[in-house]
Amino acid sequence: MMATKPKLVVFGNMNMDVLAVSPRFPEAGENIRCSEIKLAPGGKAANQSVAAVRLGGEVTLVAATGSDGLSDALMKNLQTEGVLTDRIRRVKDRNCGMALVVVDDRGENRILSHLGANDLLSPEDVLRSQDRVEAADLVLVQLGIPKVTVEAVIEMCQRLNRRVLVDPTPLSGWFPANIAECDFLLPNETEFTALMDALPHAEFENIILKKGARGGEWIRGSERVAYPAFAKVRALDTTGAGDCFAAAFAVELAKSGEIQKALRFASVASALATTQVGAQAAMPRLDAVVSEMNTWTGSNHQ
């Protein structure tokens, strides 16, 4: 068991979300009055970074953001949360990435996103962070940045013998050419289907297939091991659940080295992340996850 905080490096996007809470999603041409609309820090990599810090990790975020006021607010929020931001590059005359997130009464969401400065995160940014990767216990990357940059992250991790976890989202019509070289792949069912269609002969070391409220499967070669969902919550907003799952899985895997324990920890953490509206604001603290894990019995499994 690791005595010190696990060190993680997260490569990816950071956004300012425009979050709207609505009784339902509008039909084409329909105008619905929202019960709430607000700005909230988001972006999958930033969400994962905040979640990992709250769950006990030491996290460096490698990202690109703009020179606008919203980017200033994103940086301040990350620093307040304890994320190491010295590897985030500020891009002159560019705005931060943004996303429009609509959440309905069932907690389901629809998201439109604009990359902004995220589209400028480059392989050179990856190379400049090699020292952090060398010191890391685990690296996370998603697909909200350029393809060549994701490929550079995977290549560096392989070269330095560092474990890399790929969260293949958002779907953008491409996958990294070297994606099969990752140590862990964390797709949801839609992403898994897209991957198998695009790369039918690819062989992955470990796939953690997320099925939301139905739990999921750990796939290793021809072996499939089901893991349960933590059902003792009422979901209000699922926006950040997948990001929380990835962060929690990474933190616990780095700490204990036990995949089954990491899956259990991630199931509880991601469920708790659905009990509040928003992404980063909803990420649970370590003590809350540990408390729920200690009371989780078979009656809470789905």
Task: Dump pLDDT digits (tens) for 63-93.
Answer: 999 999 999 999 999 999 999 999 999 999 9
Any idea which architecture 7-14+43-94+117-296 has in CATH? 3-Layer(aba) Sandwich (3.40)
So what's the pLDDT on residue 107?
A: 78
For residue 86, indicate whether it is catalytic: no
CA 205 – CA 197 distance, rounded (Å)? 18
So what's the pLDDT on residue 236?
A: 79
So what's the pLDDT on residue 298?
A: 43
What residue spans define the domains of the chain? Answer: 7-14+43-94+117-296
25 neighbors 56 (Cβ within 8 angstroms): no
Task: Kindly name the residue from 137, 167, 237, 243 that is annotated as catalytic.
Answer: 243
Most confident of 58-72, 269-283, 288-302: 58-72
Prediction pTM value: 0.92
Mean predicted confidence (pLDDT) in 87-103: 94
So what's the pLDDT on residue 239?
A: 78
CA 185 – CA 124 distance, rounded (Å)? 24
280 neighbors 82 (Cβ within 8 angstroms): no
